[in-house]
Structure 1
Amino acid sequence: MTVVARILRAVAIAACVPYLVLKVAWIAGSHAGIPAGSELLEHRATMAVANTVTVLMDAAVILLALALTRPWGRRVPGWALLLPLWGATGLLAPIAVGFPLQLAAEASGGTTPVGDGGGEYLDAWVFGVVYTGFGVQALALGGLFVLYVRERWGASLTGALPPGAGVRLPLCVAGLSLLAACVHLRSAVDDPVAGGPDVLWALVTAAAALLVVAPAPRVRTVVVLGWAGGSASSAWGAWALLFSLADGPFDENRPSALLSLTYAGQMVAGGLLLLLGARLLAGRRAVPAGAV
């Protein structure tokens, strides 16, 4: 394992600590960062379950950082490692892109300060701590992922994508993604910082799907675009859809029926793109295993 990998692993794990400490404190009954009168305090059972789930999700980042850098991680079946990494990429990448944009817009006076929209629920400093940690996790875990993929599957990502993908499935993914981009465009017009990234990820997903049916596209280009766009669209779509269906303190902020359908479409598009990529790359030669 290289020095770079060791540093990235330490950074990824350290970036999880503030979030985990805060969440465990809330589960234990602490009100740190929760203002008096917050509706969160009126839904203790729901929030305890939600906090437990998110603790497990963030703890999974630590497990993934170890799997990407320890010898036993090379013995994990590819699908068992790639599926949680798909989810982690999809949830963390939009934050790594969106949070700096939000801070930049705030600094220029173009939007409200980060956390102001949730001030009735949480103190503003909570958002800074949480989203900064998520951004660092995204960068560190992403770096480890790139190193791991290059060592384990580097040869599979060279050259041009072989034919045989068909047309209907890629076009279905592209169509669903473009529809999602159109729906999110209205929010992006009102608030480019908040709605713009949703449009971006949907367009990236559509571009990856359309490249599959293009003449001899480069494998790495398709994989990078498909992984980033597909995971972000599907993971955030699933999270938002789950949020819209769950009972809790945010009922007034539930998405509309149209947005819920859009999120469902994003989930389907991302899942189909993941299956398409797995099918196309399954027969390509993998680089021999080596130390990471």
Structure 2
Amino acid sequence: MERWDRAGRCAAYGAALALAPYLLIKVSWVAGSLLGVLPIGEGFNLPGWVLLNTVTVGMAAIGIALALALVRPWGMRIPGWLVAFVAWAGSGFLVSVLPYSVLSALLGSPAADAPDGGGDDPSMPGWEAVLVQCSFVGMGLGLAVALPAYLRRRWPEAFTGRIGDGAGVRNEAGARGAAVAAPWVAAAVGLVWLYWAAGGTLGVAHPSERTTDGHLLTGLGALWALAGAAALWTLTRERPARLPRSLPLALGWLGSGSLFAWSGWKLPVTLFVAFAHPAGVTPPEEPVVAVLLHLAAVTAGAAMVRTLVNTARRRGHDAAGHRSAAAAAPGSGP
């Protein structure tokens, strides 16, 4: 077994193990709130709290199943589109926020302010907050190593070569309006988020509600959106030439996944807050502006990954064609 595959195997098992405490904590919150022995989160009623945490229980279970699928033999028998979609969304959630974990630790941000959105509950014990944070970081690190190893085994041709050495995105989906517009939409969303992270107040209804964590997460989302847009432009225009194709593919994968996953998660939460007005919850942004940005981010992320998938599929077909041609060439037999 190659060294990279061994590392991927260890990382996949480590990711599943790291996410297990988060799953158990969320199950205990649901059961405890239903039995009346644990408090519900601030700003929630019982049905809303149970629904939110039931959804995160399902997400954690899917994450553990994904980690195991990346290393167990049955993972190669699952339909490729299903593994790719779950891995894309999962890495968009967790791998993309690894820099946040580092920056928040350096800035002394409390571990309880995890990106999950439930860690800011004052009734949450400190040890639970630490376990939640460790689960996110462990799963993110595990995916960062295990996922490339899995993709390399299942679709080796898709990530080889360099920019400019074959058919690119332009031949695949560059002529389609959605594929052309997606990087521009992602860049526009990223620039707005970057403006907010830098302290801009246009579109911000309650500037006093902004926190250091909010600035960090908004700025990180902006950087991933801009990185994903730049990656798609690189693949579309085949510039700069000779750049390893795996680099823009990886940035496009994470950038589009971050846009889709995080805005897909925040969009219903934003709508809920805008219409239900839960007590004690006052988001900084104008609700209409936030909803429009999240809709744009989800749409752009989906269009971007479609372009990436078409590119990878085309390269795989081209590689298969080259192998068939070489096998059929005179003198190629034994």
Q: TM-score, normalised by structure 2?
A: 0.75
In the other structure, the counterpart of 1:238 is: 264
| % identity of equivalent residues | 28
AA paired with 2:265? W
2:185 is the alignment partner of 1:176: yes
In the other structure, the counterpart of 1:252 is: 282
2:212 is the alignment partner of 1:189: no
Moved more, 224-233 or 239-248: 239-248
List structure 1 runs of 4+ shifted beyond 6 angstroms: 34-37
| Distance apart, 1:176 and its partner CA | 0.8
1:24 to 27, 38, 41: 27
The answer as to whether partners of 2:8 and 2:71 remain within 8 angstroms in 1 is: yes
- SS at structure 1 position matched to 2:155: helix
In the other structure, the counterpart of 1:210 is: 233
- SS at structure 2 position matched to 1:252: coil
| Distance apart, 1:124 and its partner CA | 4.6
Query: Can you give the 5+ residue segments of structure 2 that lack an aligned partner in the other structure?
Result: 114-118, 200-211, 321-334
AA paired with 1:284? R
- SS at structure 1 position matched to 2:229: helix
In the other structure, the counterpart of 1:162 is: 167
In the other structure, the counterpart of 1:65 is: 67
In the other structure, the counterpart of 2:14 is: 11
The answer as to whether partners of 2:33 and 2:39 remain within 8 angstroms in 1 is: no
Q: Using the alignment, how far apart are the partners of 1:185 and 1:79 within structure 2?
A: 32
Matched pairs, number: 280
| Distance apart, 1:142 and its partner CA | 2.3
2:295 to 246, 264, 288: 264
Cα distance, 1:120–1:143 mapped onto 2, change above 3 Å? same
Cα distance, 1:170–1:207 mapped onto 2, change above 3 Å? farther
Moved more, 137-146 or 241-250: 241-250
Higher CA-based Rg: 2
AA paired with 1:243? V
RMSD: 2.8
Q: Using the alignment, how far apart are the partners of 2:96 and 2:154 within structure 1?
A: 26
The answer as to whether partners of 1:86 and 1:231 remain within 8 angstroms in 2 is: yes
Q: TM-score, normalised by structure 1?
A: 0.85
In the other structure, the counterpart of 1:109 is: none
Cα distance, 1:245–1:37 mapped onto 2, change above 3 Å? closer
Cα distance, 1:122–1:173 mapped onto 2, change above 3 Å? same
Query: Can you give the 5+ residue segments of structure 1 that lack an aligned partner in the other structure?
Result: 107-111
In the other structure, the counterpart of 1:144 is: 146
| Distance apart, 1:172 and its partner CA | 0.9
